[in-house]
């Protein structure tokens, strides 16, 4: 593995129930990068994250740098909303101290007393932040995110990405982010992998994303525009 690569994926192939989900995927991740995995529903994006976490079987090579710690923010945990549990009790499932709970909550913008709140009383935006804090326990080097904006209004979405930017700087994190939100790709990532079961393209978003590629990726015309920061 090259010195600054923390993950190498070679000829990744995934079959579930005799159906090909991912075919012939190659990519490298270097420390500090923000990699976005872009594609339509059913393209294999979540399956890819689960293979990287070692949850699903695959053929090919997935090689993490030795000692790398990984945090994972799942797409949704709706069932948890109905559990009669406070935030503090939720974090204690990970066997973390009160001090650690306060530290990770503070890093996502919440004071220590917020931990007394019941999980079921949180808005979807607050719950998303709690899941990010949960993934930050034990100080991971890499965060894998599955659709961080799901179920959050536009105002909240903006907050989530500014929060991710802050966390990246403060904690020196590497991100792998699954999304189909193009504005996120241009605003936040420096490398994109376009996946629709087979890899369609990869590279710097501004170099590889155009209306032709997006049509190939999504199988239809996609409104193509870039968000510029003002």
Residue 120's pLDDT is what?
87
Residues 56, 88, single domain; the answer is no
- Region 1-26 average pLDDT: 90
Task: Give dist(CA 29, CA 9) in Å, integer.
Answer: 9
CA 103 to chain centre: 21
Partnered with residue 40 across adjacent β-strands are none
Q: 95, 114, 138 — which closes off a domain?
A: 138
- Name the domain count of the chain: 2
Residues 105, 51, single domain; the answer is no
Residue 229's pLDDT is what?
44
Any domain includes 76: no
Q: What sign results for the dihedral spanned by CA atoms 113, 119, 125, 129? A: positive
Any domain includes 73: no
Q: 96, 113, 138 — which closes off a domain?
A: 138
130 or 8: which leads in pLDDT: 8
Residues 229, 146, single domain; the answer is yes
32 or 79: which leads in pLDDT: 32
Closest CA to 156 of 189, 131, 126, 136: 126
Residues 159, 128, single domain; the answer is no
Residues 118, 58, single domain; the answer is no
Residue 219's pLDDT is what?
80
Q: 91, 117, 138 — which closes off a domain?
A: 138
Residue 150's pLDDT is what?
53
**Are the CB atoms for 9 and 28 separated by under 8 Å?**
yes
pLDDT > 70: percent of the chain: 87
Any domain includes 17: yes
Residues 59, 164, single domain; the answer is yes
Residue 144's pLDDT is what?
96
SS in 3 state form for 34-87? EEEEECCCCCCHHHHHHHHCCCCCCEEEEEECCCCCEEEECCCCHHHHHCCCEH
Task: Give dist(CA 48, CA 23) in Å, integer.
Answer: 11
Q: Determine how β-strand 19-30 pairs with β-strand 191-196.
A: unpaired
Q: Identify the three-state secondary structure at position 164.
A: helix
Any domain includes 57: yes
Closest CA to 196 of 172, 170, 168, 220: 220
36 or 76: which leads in pLDDT: 36
Q: Which domain holds residue 217?
A: 1-68+141-230
**Biggest CA pair distance of the chain:** 52
**Are the CB atoms for 73 and 132 separated by under 8 Å?**
yes
Could you tell me the CATH number of the domain that includes residue 23? Answer: 3.40.50.300
Residues 115, 149, single domain; the answer is no
Residues 89, 157, single domain; the answer is no
Residues 170, 198, single domain; the answer is yes
Q: Work out the mean pLDDT of the chain and round it to a whole number.
A: 86
- 214 pLDDT more than 80: yes
Residues 44, 148, single domain; the answer is yes
Q: What are the tens digits of pLDDT across the range 42-67?
A: 899 999 999 999 999 999 999 999 99
Any domain includes 226: yes
Q: What are the tens digits of pLDDT across the range 149-171?
A: 655 554 555 567 788 888 999 99
Any domain includes 52: yes
- Region 94-122 average pLDDT: 91
Residues 166, 219, single domain; the answer is yes
Residue 187's pLDDT is what?
83
Any domain includes 129: yes
Q: Identify the three-state secondary structure at position 226.
A: coil
Any domain includes 74: no
Residues 170, 218, single domain; the answer is yes
- 226 pLDDT more than 70: no
């Amino acid at each position: 593995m090259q010195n600054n690569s923390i993950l190498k994926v070679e000829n990744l192939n995934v079959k579930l129930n005799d159906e090909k989900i991912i075919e012939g995927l190659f990519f490298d991740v270097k420390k500090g990068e923000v990699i976005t995995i872009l594609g339509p529903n059913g393209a294999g994006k979540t399956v890819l994250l689960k293979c990287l976490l070692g949850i699903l079987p695959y053929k090919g090579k997935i090689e993490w740098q030795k000692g790398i710690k990984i945090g994972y923010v799942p797409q949704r945990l709706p069932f948890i909303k109905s559990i009669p549990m406070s935030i503090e009790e939720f974090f204690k499932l990970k066997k973390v101290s009160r001090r650690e709970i306060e530290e990770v909550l503070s890093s996502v913008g919440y004071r220590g007393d917020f931990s007394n709140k019941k999980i079921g009383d949180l808005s979807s935006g607050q719950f998303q932040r709690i899941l990010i804090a949960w993934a930050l326990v034990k100080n991971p080097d890499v965060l894998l995110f599955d659709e961080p904006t799901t179920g959050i209004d536009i105002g909240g979405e903006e907050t989530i990405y500014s929060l991710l930017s802050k966390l990246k700087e403060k904690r020196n994190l590497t991100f792998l982010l699954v999304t189909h939100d193009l504005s996120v790709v241009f605003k936040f990532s420096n490398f994109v992998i376009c996946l629709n079961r087979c890899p369609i393209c990869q590279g710097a978003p501004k170099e590889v994303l155009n209306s032709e590629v997006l049509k190939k990726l999504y199988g239809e015309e996609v409104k193509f525009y870039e968000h510029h920061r003002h």
